[in-house]
Amino acid sequence: MKVVVIGAGLIGLTTAYFLRVRGHEITVIDRRPGPGRETSFANAGLLTPGMPEPWNAPDCWRVLLSSLARSDSPLQLRWRALPGLMGWGVRFLRNSNAARYRENTIRNVRLALFSLKVLQDLRKQTGIEYGAATRGSLKLFRSAEALHDAVRAADAVLAEGLTLRCLSREATIELEPALAPISDRLAGAIHYTADETGDAHRFCAALTEYVRRQGVIFAFDTTVSRLEVSSGRLAAVQTDKGRFEAEQCVVAAGSYSTPLLRLLGLRLPVRPVKGYSVTFVAPRQASVPKIPILDDDMHAAVVPIGDAIRVAGTAEFAGHDLALRSARVRNLTNLAQKILPSAGLDPATARPWCGLRAMSADGVPLIGPTPVRGLWVSTGHGHLGWTMAAGSGELLASLISGESVAIDPAPYDPGRCGADH
């Protein structure tokens, strides 16, 4: 089949790869000049089946309300974003009750664990390099009570096959000596042993070159203007560079999938949530961490990526605004200094960045068919896009090809959402 994939980020590229493996004729369209230039560019680099929880935890409404008056809140709601969040926001909060939050967490961990296995197989099959590391990740806790609560809350995901280790303060420092300067402030940590890291942008670039050699066509610097539908079936993709005929089309354009599909009257419950990162040149010292460090209190991560240290976190509801806010960047820079006070991270080398995560109202991605025949969607992965990318690509490629799938697709079917307003 002739398939057009809209979006050359992690989700679009993995989908294109698995479709090409199945012998389909693939064209990937992206408005940017190269792959992985949007949300996949400078994310935290974490693949974390160990932390699959949606952001709409049962008490999230308190955090969101308080954030209207605070610039340092991990979840930040902007006043001007409220009109665009009204219907979506009701769904977001409705899914924050304890039962739905638990159910959606389980849906996420199942896809995340499946995705990690698929990614490991992809690495073996393609031989691509992107700085992959398999040391797990380390989540810090400053009180014994918080550590105990986190371990107890992990029962649901442990039942799905996740593995973790609960570490004392001493065992935490033994695993990551770079934390020694703040050992007196730590109660312990959880080591999520299955977690991985890797440079997402480097992965996108490497996979692009690999599939290009396998015959995938790329149309960069090309903006999609509309999807052409005839008799209820997708016919072509219209762009500023011409018309691309297709038997099937995958919309994997992150948060920009929502306005594109709205042109057809399809309303996705997916909205942009801005995330920030700051990347430092890593000093050549022993105090630089070797394992990703996640801070439970500050809701951010410090991640070694190649010769750099990346600090990433925060979630800002501000529509499609991509402005870099100095207060949010400063929060991450300060966080790096608090976690690694002796690492010698130089603010002069800091490169700030922000990107728009595509967040579904229930915190679970939308992967599957739309009401338009031949039109498919894969979006809404939120903060788990890198974690779920390979599995999402494999799942959607199987569905498009009419094959049996290795994971139940029903929890991720876009049809579960109904209409969004």
pLDDT tens across 215-254, in order? 999 999 999 999 999 999 999 999 999 999 999 999 999 9
User: Quick check: 408 pLDDT over 90?
Assistant: yes
pLDDT at res. 29: 98
- 6 alpha carbon, distance to own chain's centre: 17
Quote the crossing angle between the two packed helices 200-213 and 98-126, to the nearest 10°: 50
CA–CA separation, 35 and 219 (whole Å): 10
What CATH number belongs to 2-417? Answer: 3.50.50.60
CA–CA separation, 323 and 208 (whole Å): 28
DSSP state of 373: B
Share of the chain above pLDDT 70, in %: 92
Q: In 116-208, which ranges are E strands?
A: 137-141, 165-168, 188-192, 196-197
Split at pLDDT 50, 70, 90, the class of 299 is confident
Strand pairing class (165-168; 188-192) = antiparallel
Share of the chain above pLDDT 90, in %: 72
Give the residue carrying structure tokens 């610097």: 221
Question: What's the mean pLDDT in 308-321?
Answer: 87
Element (H, E) at 121: helix 98-126
The one-letter amino acid code at 402 reads G
The tens digit of pLDDT for each residue in 315-348 reads 888 889 899 988 888 889 988 888 999 888 888 8
Among candidates 417, 359, 405, 412, which has minimal Cα distance to 384? 359
The one-letter amino acid code at 222 reads T
pLDDT at res. 417: 74
3-state class of 69 per DSSP? coil
Question: What's the mean pLDDT in 5-29?
Answer: 98
Split at pLDDT 50, 70, 90, the class of 75 is low
pLDDT at res. 79: 47
**DSSP string computed for 44-61:** --EE-TT----S--TTHH
pLDDT at res. 69: 46
Split at pLDDT 50, 70, 90, the class of 285 is low
Quote the crossing angle between the two packed helices 385-400 and 98-126, to the nearest 10°: 80
Taken as a whole, the chain contains a residue count of: 421
Higher-confidence residue of 119 and 55: namely: 119
pLDDT at res. 67: 47
CA–CA separation, 32 and 21 (whole Å): 25
Average pLDDT, the chain: 91
CA–CA separation, 112 and 115 (whole Å): 5
User: Quick check: 297 pLDDT over 50?
Assistant: yes
